[in-house]
Structure 1
Amino acid sequence: MTPAAELQPLAQETTASRVASTVREAIALGHIAPGQQLGEVELARQLGVSRGPLREGLQRLTQEGILIARRNRGLFVIDMTPERVRDVYTARQAVERGAADEVHARGDARSTGSALLSVVEQMERATQGTDDQQVTDADLAFHELLVERSHSSRLIWMHRTLITETRMCLNALVPTYASNAARVTEHRAIADAFAAGDLVQTDRLLVAHMRDGVDRLLP
């Protein structure tokens, strides 16, 4: 192990990093809409930063694929086109099915099912209110927990790279449900399959859940 005396000081988060985090979250939450153009002057004013760190932060989001540069026009938030929606759900399905398989293989399915049911209960309580964002937060937390329980650092990392686009899709899904109760029912069924230790049913429900999301977004 490297002696403590040889360790280097941790670098503080840069202004550009904070810009990227703030704008990324605003996009994920829908405060900055898909397809919206980002004006540097107004954004710098709102964030209280100079143009240099702002541009560096926005460049990071461009590299992540969340923003797109259009020649002679500027930066825009990506549109959730049919092709992008399908691609996001294809990637999510691959990651979450892999995570589920690992959970079952580790013999951790029943405890994972119990943990997921706790999140479903949070989702159900959120449906009693008027804030759809709380339901969406619980929805995202459910899938994050599912992948985290795989204990696969690569699957967890891959899932995190999809978080912003996933939340954009989840925000767009809200109007497609007659009630949030349907979302609760879908997630409870997946959690129950884990709790029962049923790998085949877990996999089947995850595939159906992802296909349902695509079908709702692309009727």
Structure 2
Amino acid sequence: MTNYIEPLAQESTPSIIADKLRKAIGHGELKPGAQLGEADLARKLGVSRGPLREGMQRLTQEGLLISIRNRGLFVVDMTPDDVRDMYLAREAIERAAARKILHGDPEAAGAVLLEIVDRMAVAEGDPAAVGELDIAFHERLVQLAGSPRLSRMHQTFITETRMCIHALEETYSASDVRVREHYALAEAIRTGNAESADRLLIAHMDDAIVRLTTR
């Protein structure tokens, strides 16, 4: 497992620190509900408390950290309602991204997404690898829209998605339809079928909510 909470190899900035912490949260190194100790984190990252506080403030603004008065700073704990709300936001972003792609070069974009689906098919049987490729598919989908704002908003929700997948890996990885769902969506985009792509995106998000909230 990659450790994200380790000394930085270059002069730190709040942005670099925020990215390190975001990855640590998304990959389960900092667990949901965990309290963040300022002194311990500063020591592990090899930074002073000033830029660390600024980096943590960025994640508080994103909703990945929560400040509890007289207690400290904690990693947000994703409840079923949080999962539903997060997917509502992801759905809005990814549907917008798909619409923009379909007004550009959908055939090229679809080919890129199908390559990720091929890698997912090869990785079947390795839930962790399939999970990362699942996330990579959706990250690439938004990137292909060429909208920095959509990508920036999407980043926080992808981190929360990773948190959910790590916390509920058995429930999430039990599904055997992920490759098929992603293939159908990528093919709809490649062929320029806007109605089908939108319908499949909605269904895909609804399916993920069920898998991540059914205990």
Q: Which residue of 2 aligns with 1:34?
A: 32
User: Structure 1 145/112 Cα, relative in aligned 2: closer, same or farther at 3 Å?
Assistant: same
**Are residue 124 (structure 1) and residue 118 (structure 2) matched?**
no
Moved more, 32-41 or 157-166: 157-166
Aligned-pair identity in percent equals 54
Q: Which of 100, 103, 108 in structure 2 is aligned with 1:111?
A: 108
Q: Which of 70, 82, 85 in structure 2 is aligned with 1:84?
A: 82
SS in 2 for 1:200: helix
Is the contact between residue 127 and residue 180 of structure 1 (CA under 8 Å) also seen in structure 2? no
TM-score for both structures, normalised by structure 2: 0.84
Is the contact between residue 116 and residue 191 of structure 1 (CA under 8 Å) also seen in structure 2? yes
The one-letter amino acid paired with 2:98 is: A
Count of matched residue pairs: 205
User: Structure 1 48/55 Cα, relative in aligned 2: closer, same or farther at 3 Å?
Assistant: same
**Greater CA radius of gyration, 1 or 2?**
1
Q: Displacement of 1:80 after TM fit?
A: 0.6
Q: Which residue of 2 aligns with 1:8?
A: none
Deviations 1:104-141 (A, max 9, x none): 222x222222111100111222224x4x3322221111
User: Structure 1 191/208 Cα, relative in aligned 2: closer, same or farther at 3 Å?
Assistant: same
SS in 2 for 1:27: helix
Q: Which of 47, 50, 70 in structure 2 is aligned with 1:49?
A: 47
Q: Displacement of 1:208 after TM fit?
A: 0.4
SS in 2 for 1:162: helix
User: Structure 1 212/172 Cα, relative in aligned 2: closer, same or farther at 3 Å?
Assistant: farther
User: Structure 1 184/174 Cα, relative in aligned 2: closer, same or farther at 3 Å?
Assistant: farther
Question: RMSD value over aligned CA atoms?
Answer: 2.2
Q: Displacement of 1:42 after TM fit?
A: 2.4
**Are residue 160 (structure 1) and residue 160 (structure 2) matched?**
no
SS in 2 for 1:69: strand
Where does the alignment leave 5 or more consecutive residues of structure 2 unmatched? 1-9
Q: Displacement of 1:201 after TM fit?
A: 1.2
Q: Output aligned runs, 1:1-219, within 5 Å.
A: 14-106=12-104, 108-128=105-125, 130=126, 132-172=127-167, 174-177=169-172, 179=174, 181-219=176-214
Deviations 1:48-86 (A, max 9, x none): 333333323222221221111111111100011222211
